[in-house]
Amino acid sequence: MASRSDASGMLHGTLDALILKTLTWGVRHGYGIARWLEEATGDAVPIEEGSLYPALYRLERRGLIEAEWGLSELGRKAKFYRITAKGRRQLAADTEEWTRFSAAVSKVLIPSGA
């Protein structure tokens, strides 16, 4: 995970990982993902809503998630996303990477015994 910020103002790749994580709990449409991210991260991770969609399309193109059309809770036609096996493997790798990255940063920023 490169330490570069993308348009959403987050560390690059973080949004992808968060989306994948969201989808591990079940099938969701784009708005549902946005809502879930809002609630789960609070104000700590500000996401510009629009930036979610290019990320979704990119993940779909890479075969990490797949989409199908279905009916939303309100009876409207909506595009639902589901994580693929490949997506789960990617998420596992991203999580591990993130853990290592944050541990390293923490060690520098919060020296033990300080």
Partner 1 sequence: MTFGRRLRSRIWRGSVEDEVDAELGFHVEMRARELEARGMSSADAHEAAVRRFGNIERVNATCRSIGKQRDRGMRRTEFLTELTQDLTFAARQLVHHPGFTIVALLTLSLGIGATAAIFSAVQAVVLRPLPVPEPSRILAVYTAFPQGRGSVSAGNFVDGIEPVSSFAATTAIRYSSFNLADTAQAERIIGAQVTAGFFDVFGVVPAHGRVFTAGEDRPGGPKVVVLSHRLWNRRFGANPSVLETQVRLGGQPYEVIGVMPATFDFTAQTEELWVPMAFTPERKAMHDEHQYQVYARLASGATSERALAELHRNAESIRVRYPKEAAELDFAAAKVMDELVGDYRRRLFTLLGAVGLVMLIACGNIANLLLARATARSGELAIRVALGAGRGRIIRQLLTESLLLATLAGAAGIALASWGVQALTAAAPPGVPRLEQASINPLVLTFTAVIVIASAIVFGLAPAVRASRTDVQGVLKEGGRGMGAGVAKDRLRTAVIVGELALALVLLIGAGLLIRSAMALERVSPGFDASHVLAARLSLPPTDYKAPERVLQTFEQVAAAASAVPGVRSASLTSQVPMGPGGNGNGLIPEGKPFDIKNSIQSRLRIVTPGYFDTMGISVVRGRALNAEDRRGALKVMVVSESLARALFADSDPIGRRVACCEPGPDGKSPDYKTVVGVAADTRWRGPAEPPSPEFYLPAAQIPANAWDWIQRTLYVTVRTTGDPATVINPLRSALAPIVPGVPLFDIRTMEQRIGASLQTARFNTLLLTILGGLGVVLAIVGIYGVIAYFVTRRTREIGVRIALGATRRDVIALVVRQAVWPVGLGVAAGLIASVMATRLLRNQLFGIGPNDPMTFAGVAVAVTLVALTASFVPALRAAGSDPTDALRTQ
Residues that bind partner 1 (CB under 8 A): 29-31, 34, 48-51, 53-54, 57-58, 60-61, 66-69, 72, 76-79, 82, 84
CB of 25 to partner 1, least distance (A): 18
**For residues 9 and 92, which CB has a smaller minimum distance to partner 1 in the complex?**
9
Contact between residue 22 and residue 41 where contact means Cβ atoms under 8 Å apart: no
d(CA 51, CA 34): 10
**For residues 40 and 105, which CB has a smaller minimum distance to partner 1 in the complex?**
40
CB of 74 to partner 1, least distance (A): 8
Per-position b or e across 15-46, b if 16+ CB within 10 A of its CB: bbbbbbbbbeeeebbbebbbebbeeeeeeebe
